[in-house]
Amino acid sequence: MEIVLFSKEEGIAQITINRPDKMNALNKAVLAELDHCFQRALNDSEVYGVMITGAGDRAFVAGADISEFSHYSAEEARSLSAFGQALFRRIEESPKPVVAAVHGFALGGGCELAMACHLRIATRAARFGQPEVSLGLVPGYGGTQRLVQLVGKAKALEMLCTGDPIDAGEAHRLGLANHVVEEQSELLPRAHAILQRMFLRGSQAVAGCMSLVNDFFRPDVDGYALETDCFGRLFETDEFREGVGAFLEKRKPNFRHKS
Ligand code: COA
């Protein structure tokens, strides 16, 4: 059985973590295959957006595979954390938008994977949490950093230090979930629809927005200066000429024939 599935429809790649009997827990093989599928989506010029989801009806991803790391040394644990962090950073820094479609449990590494994506769409049955303290651990794939960015310090500390999950309604109120749908059948269509909205826009401008928002959280750079650079650079693109030309000619822009 393939542990991560890749499919493509109308320019959107769907990556499905496929270990439903283990709640789609992230073992090393899943991480490697997820990495491979993600690179495939990035390298495919027909793909403009990516959805990441979990197979089955119980979990997006219920975390790193606990049975796999139960006997790790400190060194092995550090190396696992570094590998997962690097992969999730590549997702966060992707120039193509990535949406997490979350149904059921998004715990530990599952919550961290969802947070590395640009947007999260959840079903009413979704549960987000960082339960690592119950295992005597802290999150290892960026959870302590991205949760603060998304929900703020007070709520992040509560979630991290109690280990208790939150439901979809609360995730939505906190800004962790962008949208909540009632049924699982609505989840992928909603994620698809949001990516299609982005497809209608200038792709270099969309990539610029995602990169600049990430820059806000980098202490080593001046986000305002980078915004100025990006703003100027885009004036030299065909997409800019098309977007402004279309506005002045009172027609809809067609960015997809422009590079
Ligand atoms: N790692 C490895 N296996 C996992 C797993 C994980 N993170 N999460 C679930 N599984 C496995 C279970 O061991 C079980 O396997 P088995 O049928 O071979 O025994 C299977 O998935 C189903 O899980 P189960 O615990 O029986 O389902 P449940 O409905 O009673 O509980 C959860 C669901 C998600 C609440 C529970 O599985 C859980 O707490 N998982 C761990 C979450 C976690 O701590 N994640 C952070 C890891 S760092």
pLDDT means over runs of 10, the chain (259 residues): 94 98 98 98 97 98 97 97 98 98 98 98 98 98 98 98 98 98 98 96 97 97 98 97 97 78
Ligand 1 nearest atom to the CA of residue 140, by list position: 48
Which residue's CA is the nearest one to ligand 1's atom 47?
63
Ligand 1 center to 96 CA (angstroms): 32
Centre of ligand 1 to C-alpha 75, Å, is: 25
Instruction: Report d(CA 57, CA 65) in Å as an integer.
Output: 19
Ligand 1 atom closest to the Cα of residue 59 is 34
- How many whole angstroms separate alpha carbon 160 and alpha carbon 157? 5
pLDDT of residue 4: 98
Provide CB contacts within 8 A for 30, sequence distance 6+: 3, 4, 17, 19, 24, 65
pLDDT at 235: 98
Please choose from 22, 113, 138 the residue to mutate so as to test ligand 1's pocket, defined by most ligand atoms within 8 A of CB. 22
Taking the CA of residue 130 as centre, how many other CA atoms within 13 Å lie in the half-sphere pointing to its CB? 28
Closest C-alpha to ligand 1, atom 22: 22
pLDDT confidence of residue 21: 98
Residue 1 and residue 101: Cα distance in Å, rounded? 22
Q: Which atom of ligand 1 is nearest to the CA of 67?
A: 2
Determine the pLDDT at residue 258: 46
154 Cα: distance to centroid of ligand 1 (angstroms): 27
Residue 94's SS3 state is: coil
* 0.85 surpassed by pTM: yes
Around ligand 1, the residues with Cβ closer than 6 Å are 22-23, 25, 62-67, 105, 107-108, 131-132, 135
Catalytic residue set? 112, 132
Q: How far is the CA of 159 from the centre of ligand 1 (A)?
A: 19
Helix (H) / strand (E) containing 15: strand 12-17
Question: Can you tell me the distance from the alpha carbon of 255 to that of 248, in angstroms, rounded to the nearest whole number?
Answer: 15
